[in-house]
């Protein structure tokens, strides 16, 4: 079964990526690093070939024994690839998903380098928002995240000579996500919401916000509503995020 095989391959790739990101001993072992790169490249190539077979149904449907369904209905193919059908389905399922052009942080499991850059972005939001570009200089990863995610969505602007954080405007692709954050945090019935529950809601349909971006947007939210929100860790009130 191709679906089961593809799932197994993706699991193998996830394991290899976890090893790369969570094994500091690799820094001192060039042989192990090379072997890990080669195994990862091999699995990625196999996955790519398997996906091609799935996306081009004629390759697997030539025997007349393969059928494709969505929402209980069989798909009648008028094109040679599944890509247009998948695009249409995902556009409907994630109609409120933000458009974010940054591959460094716009992923569910950022690399260690991206996580460090995100930490600097968070510090900039909470502590250095009065500075242009949060004081970043040169072209480090955090500068790229700032330009694409923060400045690119007008979340950090200058007003009367003073730089400050602001919420995404109506019409911005982040606005639907921002709206649901306000609804959850400021719902009529006063109650606590865990950060993980909030992130899970934002990650699910129809928003699809990645777990890599969610902490940054939450810090923007906390910065703007700093006098109206509180954070607790294991029942203890935090003085700052």
204-230 burial: b if 16+ Cβ within 10 Å, else e = eeebbbbebbbbbbbbbbbbbeeeeee
Distance (Å, whole) CA 156 – CA 116: 20
DSSP state of 122: H
Distance (Å, whole) CA 33 – CA 40: 10
> Is the pTM for the entire model greater than 0.85?
no
Query: Taking the mean position of all CA atoms in its chain, how far away is CA 173?
Result: 14
Distance (Å, whole) CA 119 – CA 231: 18
Distance (Å, whole) CA 214 – CA 163: 23
Q: Tokens 């004629």 identify what position?
A: 58
pLDDT per residue of the chain (241 residues) written in tens, 0 to 9: 677 888 899 999 999 988 987 888 888 898 999 999 999 999 999 998 888 777 766 565 555 566 777 888 887 766 667 778 888 889 999 999 999 999 999 999 888 889 999 999 999 999 999 999 999 999 999 999 999 999 999 999 999 989 999 999 999 999 999 999 999 998 857 677 899 999 999 999 999 999 999 999 999 999 999 988 888 888 888 877 7
Query: Taking the mean position of all CA atoms in its chain, how far away is CA 168?
Result: 18
């Amino acid at each position: 079964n191709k679906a089961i095989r593809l799932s197994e391959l993706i699991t193998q790739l996830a394991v290899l990526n976890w090893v790369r990101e969570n094994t500091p001993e690799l820094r001192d072992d060039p042989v192990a690093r090379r072997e890990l790169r080669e195994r990862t490249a091999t699995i990625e190539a196999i996955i790519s070939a398997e996906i091609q077979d799935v996306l081009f149904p004629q390759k697997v449907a030539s025997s007349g024994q393969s059928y494709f369904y969505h929402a209980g209905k069989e798909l009648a193919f008028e094109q040679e690839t599944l890509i247009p059908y998948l695009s249409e389905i995902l556009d409907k399922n994630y109609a409120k998903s933000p458009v974010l052009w940054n591959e460094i942080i716009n992923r569910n499991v950022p690399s260690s380098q991206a996580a460090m850059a995100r930490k600097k972005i968070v510090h900039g939001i909470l502590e250095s928002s009065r500075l242009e570009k949060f004081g970043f200089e040169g072209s480090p990863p955090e500068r790229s995240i700032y330009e694409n995610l923060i400045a690119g969505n007008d979340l950090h602007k200058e007003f009367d000579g003073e730089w400050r954080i602001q919420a995404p405007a109506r019409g911005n692709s982040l606005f639907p996500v921002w709206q649901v954050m306000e609804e959850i945090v400021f719902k009529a019935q006063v109650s606590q919401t865990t950060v993980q529950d909030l992130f899970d809601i934002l990650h699910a349909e129809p928003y699809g916000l990645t777990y890599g971006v969610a902490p940054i947007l939450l810090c923007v939210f906390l910065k703007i509503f700093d006098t109206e929100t509180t954070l607790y860790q294991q029942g203890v009130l935090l003085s700052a995020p």
